[in-house]
Structure formats: structure tokens, C-alpha cells
């Protein structure tokens, strides 16, 4: 079966450097038919031009702090059968889009979402969850690496993660676009509730992985402490008005405030904020909730017909090879140069650099275009790993290759023998 055409939408504002890294990874996706739509402020559009992509992707100028409006503008320019979304401060694994799009071949799937890894590239931010009509999130048990297809109901939806999700385009025609009242927070959750109420199914795809930096922005600092909770309060209030029963709405407001207070208390314990910060932030959230109570809720806009032709992204140097380069620190300058050279030629490259220690591992997408995993030869590389595992370099490299293979589009790595492995000290 021919893979569906996918429109990949990236909304960006105030983060041109992160957008550059995101585009570097997105343009290396192992997927035969997708277009890229960037909705961005002037700095973001300049980053697109500097990357040499202005004539190869679709762009929309937009400089308003409203994620729903930005996504709707992107949808208006998209022509794919599937519409996917990733944040500007995230990078996808090479196999992300292929794994996500494949879920739509399963019967009845209207939406799909994948797993999201945090700043260290190892721990998870999200591995499947639901959201209920009171805006309460609950984790889901996804027992295997295979996609799990679920349907919600009138009171609980299967949650798609905003930085890692996709929808059939006709969903926006039949059930509405993103509600512009959700300037930030719960924007996709409102859509999830509408899909659940319509009895539509969502696939959770473990192999569709995105790494999310949770970068600083006008709304949050580098340590992830919010600058204000007003938009979160406003979105929460609108969500409750649209989806929560009247009798439980006040209690749900107080519970939402309590959840935010609990998150801030944990940041206080880590020294990231002060008690005064907590009091001020909770006041801004309450102000947002109050403004939501007085806001006018209008019908959600509907998507119009496709208005622009599909602009298939053509990779500059499309090469199918994958190279694994590995060795022990600190002598790794030659390995990093080789990784950058191969990535520049269009290959997928994974560089493993280990120290003789039990340090925990970190994974990142390097600005030079390759994947880099560092840490101790004997250290942990997963949330469930032992803190110390005696091994050799060759065995450790083989283990890590098997770990990342499903997300990095390396399904044949273990059997094909086509990798270019350099085990050297």
C-alpha cells in the first residue's frame, strides 16, 4: 500500500535557533511523501531562508501568541491526506513520521500520537495518556511496541501530545479546527474531546518518537518555571465550560489550581522558584480562570477545501545508508568529524561516545545533523535500566543499536549488516 501524503506543520515564535535544529531533523525524515508547512514570526521565517528551505517548503507569516490560530493557518495551506504536528523546540527520530503515518492504515483510526522523550533524550515526558472532561490527565499502560488503538467517550478522550500527533485532514472539515480561544494549553485536548464524543479512534504509536526540549519562551524560563499562568488558567476555564458538567465545574476549577500549586511546590523544593513566585503565579492562573468565565464561546471554525497543491519535500542528498560510529572518550574528535561529514552527505548517523564510568546516558540530535549518545560504558540508558551493567564496548554498542532501531528507522540494522560501525578508542 502506498504511504499517505502527509503535511507536517511547525508553528514557531521567538525561537529561531530551535526552529533551525527542528528543521535540520525534519528534513532528514525517512518518509517518501511529505510536505513541510512552517507558520512563523519574522525571525522564524528568516531561519527558514537561512537554511536554504524557502523555496522547498510552504511558509506562513504569523506573529501572534496563539498556537491554535497558527495551526489553523498551517492546515489552510496543507494538502496532505494526513496532517501532522511537531513543536519548534522538538526533533523527531528519523522513523517518526513513517511510524506515525502507518497507524492510519489500521481500521477506524482518525488520529495518532507517539512517545515523547525529555531533555536528556532518555526519560519520557509522555507514553500515552487520557484526558477527562475536568482536564485531568491519566497515564495509559501501553504494553507493547505495537500501536494501541483506543476510543474515548463523552467524558474521557485519548490524549494526543501536541508536539507529536497527526490527524486525518477530513477531521478538520467534519469536526472543526483548533479552537482559537485556546491560545496556549489544552488546544489539542479540546479537539481530542470532540473526536471522543464522535466515537472516533486514536492510535498510540510507541515507535513514533520525538525529543522535546521544553525550551524557554515568553511563557516559561529555561528552568521550565512559568512566567505567568494566565493563559493556562484561561484555557482551563474554557475547556471546563465546554466539556465539564455544570455541577462539577467549580470543583474542577479548584482542582486545576491545586494541581498547578503541586507542580510549583516541587519546583520550590528543587530551588527553581520562591514562595512569592508561587503566590504570584497562582494569582495569574485564577485571573485567567475568571476571564474565561466571562468570555464568549463561539462555534469552532471548520476547515475549507484544499487550496494549494501538495509540495513534496525533496531531500538534498537522500541516501539510504545508516552509519554507527562508536568509541571511548576522550579521544573522539575524528569520530565527530566523520559523523558530521556523513550527515552532510545525507546519511543517518548515530555516534556513541562512552566514558569508562557508570554515568547515565544522554541523547541529542547534534546541530551537525547526527544523533549523539554519551554516557558511561556501564551506565543506564533507559528509565528501567540498572545503574551499573558490566559489559564491553562491542556489546554495549549492539545493545544501544537495538534500543534505538525502531525509532531511528533501523529495522534491518540487526540483520542486514549494512551499518558502518567503527569501534575504536
Burial 204-219 (b: 16+ CB within 10 A, else e): bbbbbbbbbbbbbbeb
Question: What is the three-class DSSP state of 117?
Answer: strand
Q: Is the peptide bond before 284 cis (omega within 30 degrees of 0)?
A: no
Res. 411: pLDDT tops 80: no
Burial 291-326 (b: 16+ CB within 10 A, else e): ebeeeeeeebeebeebeeebbebeeeeeeeebbbbb
Q: 272-300: per-residue pLDDT in tens? A: 888 998 999 999 999 999 999 999 999 99
C-alpha to C-alpha distance for 39 and 69, rounded to whole angstroms:
10
Q: 68-122: per-residue pLDDT in tens? A: 999 999 999 999 999 999 999 999 999 999 999 999 999 999 999 999 999 999 9
C-alpha to C-alpha distance for 388 and 359, rounded to whole angstroms:
9
C-alpha to C-alpha distance for 381 and 45, rounded to whole angstroms:
36
Q: What is the mean pLDDT of residues 62-66?
A: 96
Local confidence band at 224 (pLDDT 50, 70, 90 cut-offs):
confident
C-alpha to C-alpha distance for 255 and 132, rounded to whole angstroms:
13
Task: Report how far apart the first and last C-alpha atoms of the chain are (Å, whole number).
Answer: 45
Looking at every residue in the chain, the average pLDDT score rounds to 91
- Residue 327's Cα: distance from chain center in Å? 30
With a CB cutoff of 8 Å and minimum separation 6, the contacts of 123 are 117, 383
Helix (H) or strand (E) holding 37: strand 34-40
pLDDT of residue 424: 40
Res. 417: pLDDT tops 50: no
C-alpha to C-alpha distance for 354 and 340, rounded to whole angstroms:
18
pLDDT of residue 143: 84
The model's pTM is 0.92
Which residue has better confidence, 151 or 321? 151
Is the distance from CB of 209 to CB of 114 less than 8 angstroms?
A: yes
Res. 412: pLDDT tops 50: no
Residue 34, burial from CB neighbour count under 10 angstroms (0-12, 13-18, 19+) = buried
Res. 259: pLDDT tops 80: yes
pLDDT of residue 122: 94
322-328/156-158 β-pairing: unpaired
pLDDT of residue 214: 76
Q: Which three cell numbers stand for residue 273?
A: 522558584
Q: 6-32: per-residue pLDDT in tens? A: 999 999 999 999 999 999 999 999 898
Res. 416: pLDDT tops 90: no
Helix (H) or strand (E) holding 265: helix 249-269
Domain with CATH 3.90.550.10 in the chain: 6-212
Residue 249, burial from CB neighbour count under 10 angstroms (0-12, 13-18, 19+) = middle
Angle subtended by helix axes 230-243 and 187-197, to nearest 10: 10
Q: What is the mean pLDDT of residues 229-241?
A: 96
Look at residues 257, 247, 265 and name the one whose alpha carbon lies nearest to residue 292.
257
pLDDT of residue 295: 96
pLDDT of residue 213: 87
Could you give the percent of the chain with pLDDT greater than 90? 80
pLDDT of residue 320: 65
pLDDT of residue 86: 98
Longest CA pairwise span in the chain (Å)? 66
DSSP state of 284: H
DSSP state of 164: B
Res. 375: pLDDT tops 90: yes
CATH for 6-212 (2.40.50.70, 3.90.550.10, 2.40.160.20, 3.40.190.10): 3.90.550.10
C-alpha to C-alpha distance for 67 and 181, rounded to whole angstroms:
10
Q: 298-356: per-residue pLDDT in tens? A: 999 999 999 899 999 987 655 667 899 999 988 789 999 999 999 998 889 999 999 99
Helix (H) or strand (E) holding 378: none
Look at residues 318, 314, 368 and name the one whose alpha carbon lies nearest to residue 340.
368
Local confidence band at 415 (pLDDT 50, 70, 90 cut-offs):
very low
Amino acid at each position: 500500500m502506498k504511504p499517505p501524503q502527509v503535511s507536517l506543520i511547525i508553528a514557531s515564535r521567538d525561537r529561531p535557533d530551535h526552529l533551525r535544529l527542528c528543521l535540520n531533523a525534519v528534513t532528514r525524515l525517512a518518509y517518501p511523501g511529505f510536505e513541510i508547512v512552517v507558520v512563523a514570526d519574522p525571525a522564524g521565517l528568516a531561519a527558514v531562508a537561512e537554511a536554504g528551505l524557502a523555496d522547498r517548503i510552504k511558509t506562513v507569516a504569523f506573529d501572534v501568541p496563539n498556537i491554535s490560530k497558527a495551526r489553523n493557518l498551517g492546515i489552510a495551506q496543507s494538502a496532505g491526506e494526513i496532517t501532522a504536528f511537531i513543536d519548534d523546540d522538538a526533533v523527531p527520530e528519523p522513523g517518526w513520521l513513517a511510524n506515525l503515518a502507518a497507524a492510519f492504515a489500521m481500521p477506524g483510526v482518525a488520529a495518532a500520537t507517539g512517545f515523547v522523550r525529555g531533555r536528556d533524550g532518555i526519560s519520557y515526558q509522555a507514553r500515552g495518556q487520557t484526558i477527562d472532561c475536568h482536564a485531568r490527565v491519566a497515564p495509559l499502560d501501553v504494553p507493547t511496541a505495537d500501536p494501541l488503538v483506543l476510543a474515548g467517550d463523552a467524558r474521557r478522550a485519548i490524549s494526543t501530545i501536541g508536539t507529536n500527533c497527526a490527524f486525518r485532514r477530513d477531521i478538520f472539515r467534519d469536526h472543526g479546527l483548533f479552537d482559537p480561544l485556546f491560545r496556549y494549553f489544552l488546544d489539542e485536548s479540546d479537539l481530542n474531546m470532540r473526536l471522543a464524543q464522535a466515537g472516533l479512534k486514536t492510535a498510540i504509536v510507541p515507535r513514533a518518537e520525538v525529543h522535546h526540549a521544553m525550551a524557554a519562551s515568553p511563557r516559561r524560563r529555561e528552568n521550565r518555571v512559568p512566567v505567568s499562568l494566565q493563559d493556562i488558567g484561561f484555557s482551563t476555564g474554557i475547556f471546563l465550560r465546554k466539556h465539564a458538567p455544570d455541577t462539577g465545574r467549580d470543583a474542577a476549577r479548584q482542582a486545576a489550581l491545586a494541581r498547578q500549586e503541586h507542580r510549583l511546590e516541587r519546583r520550590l523544593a528543587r530551588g527553581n522558584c520562591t514562595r512569592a513566585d508561587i503566590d504570584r503565579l497562582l494569582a495569574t492562573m485564577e485571573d485567567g480562570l475568571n476571564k474565561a468565565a466571562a468570555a464568549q464561546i463561539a462555534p469552532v471554525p471548520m476547515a475549507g477545501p484544499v487550496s494549494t497543491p501538495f509540495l513534496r519535500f525533496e531531500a538534498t542528498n537522500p541516501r539510504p545508508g545508516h552509519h554507527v560510529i562508536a568509541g571511548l572518550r576522550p579521544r573522539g574528535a575524528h569520530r565527530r568529524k566523520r559523523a558530521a561529514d556523513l550527515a552532510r552527505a545525507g546519511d543517518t548517523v548515530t555516534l556513541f561516545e562512552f566514558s569508562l564510568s557508570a554515568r547515565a546516558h544522554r541523547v541529542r540530535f547534534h546541530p551537525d545533523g547526527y544523533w549523539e549518545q554519551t554516557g558511561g560504558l556501564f551506565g543506564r540508558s533507559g528509565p528501567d535500566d540498572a545503574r551499573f551493567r558490566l559489559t564491553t564496548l562491542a556489546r554495549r554498542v549492539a545493545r544501544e543499536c537495538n534500543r534505538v532501531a525502531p525509532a531511528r528507522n533501523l529495522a534491518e540494522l540487526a540483520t542486514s549488516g549494512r551499518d558502518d560501525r567503527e569501534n575504536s578508542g
